[in-house]
Amino acid sequence: TVGVTEAISSVLLSILVAGDEVLIPAPAYPGYEPLITLAGGSLVEIDTRANDFVLTPAMLEQAIVEREGKVKAVILNYPANPTGVTYNRGQIKALAEVLKKHEVFVIGDEVYSELNYTDQPHVSIAEYAPEQTIVLNGISKSHAMTGWRIGLIFAAREL
């Protein structure tokens, strides 16, 4: 695609219908909201400020259950823009266990995956929930090629 923003837009236009909701840990990249709205959906933020900007499995489960089947997708952006928060393997596995209990798409916006300054490598949510996950990535961040609009979408064939 022409950048990760177009990849996000393409995915949302493919999966959302009017009335669908998309969960996002907040604070989040502000560019998601207009793309969700354009696709007919509504953004629902999960406030993570009280937990050092980290989405926990309990927070995710509560948000999905409270929305009573309206949630069509969850966007996970990590390392996160704007907070820089990232998740270790155990945290990703725990979030995936929650997501696998629900019929929702998982959109892994992993454009910052190579800009991980922790002692642990980036772990994709697709490793633990491949049948639900659509991974988005690009080269502009990882290769310091700002302006090079190359976006990638990865998903299981069935999706």
SS (H, E, C) 10-66: HHHHHHCCCCCEEEEEECCCCCHHHHHHHCCCEEEEEECHHHCCCCCHHHHHHHHHH
The model's confidence at residue 158, banded by pLDDT at 50, 70 and 90, is: confident
CB neighbour burial string for 16-54, b if at least 16 within 10 angstroms, e if fewer: beeebbbbbbbbbbeebbebbeebebbbbebebeeeebb
User: Each residue of 67-119: pLDDT tens digit?
Assistant: 988 999 999 988 878 887 889 999 999 999 999 999 999 999 886 665 666 78
Measured in residues, the chain has a length of 159
- Count the Cβ atoms, other than its own, within 10 Å of residue 118: 10
pLDDT value of residue 148: 64
Distance of alpha carbon 119 from alpha carbon 77, whole angstroms: 19
Distance of alpha carbon 21 from alpha carbon 57, whole angstroms: 19
Predicted structure pTM score: 0.89
Q: Which residue has the higher pLDDT, 38 or 146?
A: 38
User: Each residue of 107-137: pLDDT tens digit?
Assistant: 998 866 656 667 878 889 988 999 999 988 7
pLDDT value of residue 70: 96
Q: Cβ(21)–Cβ(42) under 8 Å?
A: yes
Q: What is the torsion angle, in degrees rounded to the nearest 10, for the CA atoms of residue 125, residue 127, residue 128 and residue 131?
A: 90
The pLDDT mean for the chain works out to 88
Distance of alpha carbon 98 from alpha carbon 114, whole angstroms: 26
Which architecture, in CATH terms, is 4-155? 3-Layer(aba) Sandwich (3.40)
Q: Cβ(108)–Cβ(124) under 8 Å?
A: yes
User: Each residue of 33-62: pLDDT tens digit?
Assistant: 999 999 999 999 999 999 999 999 999 999
